[in-house]
Amino acid sequence: MINRILATAATILAILGLTAGTAGTASAYQPVDIVHTEHVQAGPYSLTVGFSEWPLRAMQSLDFTFIPEGGIEDRTGTLTEIQPNGKIRRAEPLSRHPRKRDVWGLDVRSLDQEGAWTFHFVIDGPQGRGEGDLANLTVLHQPGPPLGVSWAVSTVPLIGLIAFLAYAWRRTRRPAPTPHPV
């Protein structure tokens, strides 16, 4: 009996030890893999724009990196995303990429329309102010089925759950008391 308890305890400790030993590696951030780059000249600054997926597709999450020649120290910048229809989607200051701290970047961002996008850069640094565009950045159609179909299919389990709960509720509720004849 005691041998069986000791064997069980040893097995549990071994499993916990193996789990604890690999938890640090499993929870580490994945590096940013750049698979394609484009070059932009923003005044006196040469800027390399990196993409973690290529070709770009609408509604596909990816990482962007923006690497000025000479690094990001003593420089600030702004990125303006211009949609294919000419509307400005967003203008934001360039900040360090959360997983690649030595460059500017955007983490898990998607472009929501297909067509030719423009990234407009404004960089301020020791050589003054520079502006440049990455024009005609082609974004292809969204991969997979249309969003409406995806949402409709994903609600099927929810509808089944609601139907099951309604059925279970009707089966388990108490019947109303019947009046006794006097």
DSSP string for residues in 89-117: EEEEE--EETTEEEEEEEEEE---S-EEE
Q: Which two tokens stand for residue 128?
A: 């003054």
**Rounded CA gap, 122 and 158, in Å?**
47
Domains of the chain (ranges; CATH) run 36-140 (2.60.40.1930)
Strands 100-109 and 115-125: unpaired
Let me know how long the chain is: 182
Q: What is the pLDDT along the chain (182 residues), one digit of tens a residue?
A: 676 666 665 666 666 665 555 555 444 567 789 999 999 999 999 999 999 999 999 989 999 999 999 999 999 999 999 999 999 998 999 999 999 999 999 998 999 999 999 999 999 999 999 999 999 999 999 888 887 888 889 999 999 999 999 999 988 887 767 777 76
pTM: 0.69
144 vs 60, 116, 131, 150, CA distance in Å?
10, 20, 36, 9
**Rounded CA gap, 46 and 70, in Å?**
9
**Rounded CA gap, 65 and 96, in Å?**
9
Strand partners, 102: none
